Amino acid sequence: MADINIQRKKSSPSPWLLVLLVLLGLAAVGYYAFRADSDQPTTAPAVPSLEPAADSTTGAETAPRPTNDPAVAEMATEEPGGSPEELAAFAASDATTPTYGRRGLEMLMATLRTLADRDDLRDATVSEKRDDLTSATSRLQEQGTSLRPGYVAAANLIKAMQQKGYPALETKANELVGRANELTGRTTSPQEQQQVQEFLRRAADIVGEISQPAR
């Protein structure tokens, strides 16, 4: 009887083993790639400078802001006069100028503030009227602001200074207060322009006398 040669069948490798080997290879590649990135030098983030730029608007302004209003620009570049003579000269100028009323009030304010600080005129009443004038003209630079409160406050301050040591000017001071109360605060019509000009003329006349030592 012939011998039958029986050979065992070789088993093929498991597919899960191949998958495991592939995963291990990928893990090794990822590990070395991560280490290579971590070895690169890091750059520190830039720290913003605390110094303002040359054209920065956060610092103090070094130049006046431009304005498109000619009246405001004129008042910003010209300092109001502070003497009765300058006030009288301005009062006699052209009252039809658009800034005549506002400019005249500014000059009258500057003159009155100088007189109100004089030792022989300064008292509680004069100081109170001076503060009223400051309050009444606090928005003088704003467009559309009525000038009438400023005229009235200025006339009342002149009246207070007249009562302090100039009894001979009582009639003139009372007339000035009455004229101030009659003003509309505008200079759009010829009548209004004439009224403001006459008020400034009379105010300059009384202030000129008060600027002299009391007798």
pLDDT band at 214 (very low <50, low <70, confident <90, very high): confident
Total domain count for the chain?
1
Quick check: is 87 in a domain? yes
Residue 63 CA: distances (Å) to CA of 57, 59, 151, 176: 11, 12, 32, 41
* Top-confidence residue, 32 or 201: 201
Q: Kindly state the average pLDDT of the residues 12-37.
A: 71
> Above 90 in pLDDT, residue 86?
yes
Quick check: is 159 in a domain? yes
- Angstrom distance (rounded) from CA 156 to CA 34: 87
Quick check: is 12 in a domain? no
DSSP string over 117-151: TSTTT-SHHHHHHHHHHHHHTTTTTSTT--SHHHH
Query: Are the beta carbons of 210 and 162 closer than 8 angstroms?
Result: yes
**Sign (positive or negative) of CA dihedral 108, 111, 117, 121:** negative
Quick check: is 54 in a domain? no
DSSP string over 32-92: HHHHHHHTSPPPPPPPPPSSPPTT-SSS--SSPPP-S-HHHHHHHHSPPP-SHHHHHHHHT
86: Cβ–Cβ under 8 A, 6 or more apart, which residues?
Answer: 107, 111
Quick check: is 205 in a domain? yes
Task: Quote the domain boundaries for residue 106.
Answer: 70-210
Quick check: is 42 in a domain? no
Query: Are the beta carbons of 101 and 203 closer than 8 angstroms?
Result: no
What is the model's pLDDT at position 11?
55
Quick check: is 28 in a domain? no
DSSP 8-state secondary structure symbol assigned to residue 185: S
What is the pTM for the complete model shown? 0.62
Q: Per this entry, what is the length of the chain?
A: 215
Q: Kindly state the average pLDDT of the residues 23-37.
A: 71
- Angstrom distance (rounded) from CA 51 to CA 66: 26
> Above 60 in pLDDT, residue 93?
yes
Q: Kindly state the average pLDDT of the residues 175-201.
A: 94
Token look-up 């009765």 returns 84
Quick check: is 215 in a domain? no
- Name which of 31-40, 108-117, 120-129, 141-150 the model is least confident about: 31-40
Q: CA angle at residue 215 from 112 to 84, to 5 degrees?
A: 25
Q: Kindly state the average pLDDT of the residues 81-86.
A: 82
Query: Are the beta carbons of 200 and 104 closer than 8 angstroms?
Result: yes
* Top-confidence residue, 187 or 196: 196
CA-based end-to-end distance of the chain: 168
Mean pLDDT computed over every residue of the chain = 78
What is the model's pLDDT at position 38?
55
What is the model's pLDDT at position 55?
38
Give the residue among 111, 157, 148, 105 at the shortest CA–CA distance from 130.
157
